[in-house]
Amino acid sequence: MLDVRNLSIRFPNFALKQIEFSVAAGEYFVLFGPTGSGKTVLFELLAGLRRPDQGTIVINGVDRTFADPSVRRIGYVPQDLALIPFKTVWQNVAFGLYSKPFRPAENGKRSADIIRQRVNAMLEMLRIEPLAQRLPSLLSGGEKQRVALGRALVVQPDLLLLDEPLSAVDEDTGNVLMREIKTLQRRLGITTLHVCHRREEMEFLADRVATMSAGQLCV
Amino acid sequence: MGIDQRNGISRLVSWNTFCAVVLTLFIGSLVLLVMSAVLYVDVREFAAVFRNPDFRFAMRLSLWTSTLSAFLAVLTAVPVGYVLSRQRFPGRTLLDSIVDIPIVLPPVVLGLCLLVFFRTSLGQAMENIGLRFVYQSAGIVLAQYFTITPYAVRTIKAAFDNLNPRIEQVARTLGYTQGRVFLRVTLPLIKNGVIAGGVIAWAVAIGLFGPMMILVGTTRQRTEVLATSIYLELSVGRVQSALAIALLMIAMALVALTLFKKLTGDTRDHA
């Protein structure tokens, strides 16, 4: 499903060196490693937010190394969640569905109706329906986390990237969310890459683990 | 409470007191200056000024030229501020400094540069195809535009600097092109910064004097704006009238600056 070969990028004081790994369809792959080991940079390369110096990124058999982020069909949940502050929970979750690549096709049904249905179903699945009309500033850390997850999942991406999704919530909320993410991932069968530095998170979630350290990956 | 802690608190209190005294003295002297002008002007002078057709012309000309130039400044400042805030390229610091030149130069130098430009072959060619600015009201807009755009760029660039780029990046992964992300996410997020940039640019434009004198002169009912009105009134000995116009401009500046501070979020007076 995802095949990364010889991926490298160099910065003045850091480098990601010849990263190689593969993730099978539906697999939950955890990248484990300390802060500053290059996990977020690797995610940015996969999402198309940075261009690598060398190497290839193949998603579903198509070389996406230099493809625009808008056409990669990747759901990305960054560490700081990056919710759009002036949009409500509903609008944040629905946001991707109004873009050209993700807008649902109209098969006798108006796409606006399909969007409404899909967003409502996602809010229900994540148990945030009552928060639909709230702005992100009025949500708790765990609620924001669910919104960011819903926004990434509702577009039915080929690949889900979760960058330390539980780092901003307390331990109890983190444990609840961890179980929910795993259940959701199994239910939707979505290929997932998850970055974390907590051992128990890694052990609970991972089908397979790779360790990152100083810009290098050990699968 | 220990002696060290007591000493620390008393040092903090004396520093705070010192700052409060300096602030009071400074604000007090500014208020004193304005009040002396207010007390000097006969209230009836305001009515006389408003009845004066020359003043009414200058007011109208000031309002439309400064509004148009502020609009053009914002149109320029949004892409310039974006590039300076987001892009990293060789020479960026130099470009950033060049944008700021009109802020540090005496405004009259800018007027002089513009006047000289329209004496060059390129400037003459522009005039020959109808783009006339020297001693024209269009010249007021031009002089204002070059003077105020750096202020708009500074404000709008700060708005871009304070924006979390991750929000835009996530929007890109959700299927939006850079242009769509800018319109649907970035622009609404920096809306206040853009309006504030326009307001500060407008406030600077309406009070501009030096470049006007050089590029368009001060002809009654032709190129006279509020700032040059004060000069004209003074030159014929009408101090009361000049002061009435000046007070009106102070009031306009105060409203604009208060709006600017509200929009840029500098409203910590509630804490």
**Integer Cα distance of B213 and B217 in angstroms:** 4
Q: Which residues of B touch A83 (CB under 8 A)?
A: 167
Q: Which residues of B touch A50 (CB under 8 A)?
A: none
CA B185 to chain centre: 27
Inter-helix orientation angle A111-125/A141-153, to 10°: 140
Q: In what order do the strands lie in the sheet with A15-23?
A: A15-23, A2-10, A54-59, A62-63
Radius of gyration from C-alpha coordinates of chain A: 17
Q: How far is A47 from chain B (nearest CA, A)?
A: 7
Q: pLDDT value at position A34?
A: 84
Q: Which residues pair with A58 in a beta bridge?
A: A3, A63
* Look-up of token digits 């009552």: A130
**Integer Cα distance of A170 and A173 in angstroms:** 5
**Integer Cα distance of B70 and B76 in angstroms:** 10
Q: Would you say A154 and A125 are in contact if contact means Cβ atoms under 8 Å apart?
A: no
Q: Which residues of B touch A78 (CB under 8 A)?
A: 166, 169-170
Burial state string for B60-84 with b = 16 or more CB within 10 A and e = fewer than 16: ebbeebbbbbbbbbbebbbebbbeb
Q: What is the average pLDDT value for chain A, to the nearest integer?
A: 90
What chain B residue is nearest to A148 in terms of C-alpha separation?
Answer: B170
Query: What distances in angstroms separate CA B102 from CA A41, B67, B167, one per listed residue?
Result: 40, 19, 33
A–B: how many Cβ contacts below 8 A?
61
Contact A84 B166 (CB under 8 A): no
What chain B residue is nearest to A87 in terms of C-alpha separation?
Answer: B185
DSSP assignment, residue A119? H
Per-residue pLDDT of chain B (271 residues; tens, 9 = 90+): 566 677 777 777 788 899 999 999 999 999 999 999 888 888 888 888 889 999 999 999 999 999 999 999 999 999 999 999 988 889 999 999 999 998 898 888 999 999 999 999 999 999 999 899 999 999 999 999 999 999 999 999 999 999 999 999 999 999 999 999 999 999 999 999 999 999 999 999 999 998 988 999 888 888 999 999 999 999 999 999 999 999 999 999 899 888 888 887 754 444 3
From the list A177, A121, A195, the residue with the least C-alpha distance to A153 is A121
Q: How far apart are the first and last CA of chain B?
A: 27
Q: What is the dihedral of CA A70, A150, A190, A116, to 10 degrees?
A: -80
Say if residue A209 is exposed, middle or buried (CB neighbours under 10 Å; 0-12, 13-18, 19+): middle
Q: Which member of A71, A80, A101 has the closest CB to residue B166?
A: A80
Q: Which residues of A touch B164 (CB under 8 A)?
A: 80, 82
Contact of B179 with chain A, judged by CB distance below 8 Å, is answered with: no
Q: Which residues of B touch A47 (CB under 8 A)?
A: 169, 173
Residue type at B260 in one-letter notation:
F
What chain A residue is nearest to B168 in terms of C-alpha separation?
Answer: A82
Query: What distances in angstroms separate CA A69 from CA A64, B167, B170, one per listed residue?
Result: 9, 13, 9
Three-class SS state of A139: coil
Report the predicted TM-score, pTM, of the whole model to 2 decimal places: 0.83
**Integer Cα distance of B31 and B50 in angstroms:** 24
Is A178 a residue whose pLDDT tops 90?
A: no
In which band, very low, low, confident or very high, does the pLDDT at A107 lie, cut at 50, 70 and 90?
low
ipTM: 0.91
Q: Which residues of A touch B159 (CB under 8 A)?
A: none
Contact A155 B174 (CB under 8 A): yes
A→B interface, C-beta within 8 Å: 44, 47-49, 68-72, 74-76, 78, 80, 82-86, 95-96, 99-102, 151, 155
Contact of B175 with chain A, judged by CB distance below 8 Å, is answered with: yes
Length of chain A: 219
Contact A76 B177 (CB under 8 A): no
Q: Would you say A212 and A14 are in contact if contact means Cβ atoms under 8 Å apart?
A: no
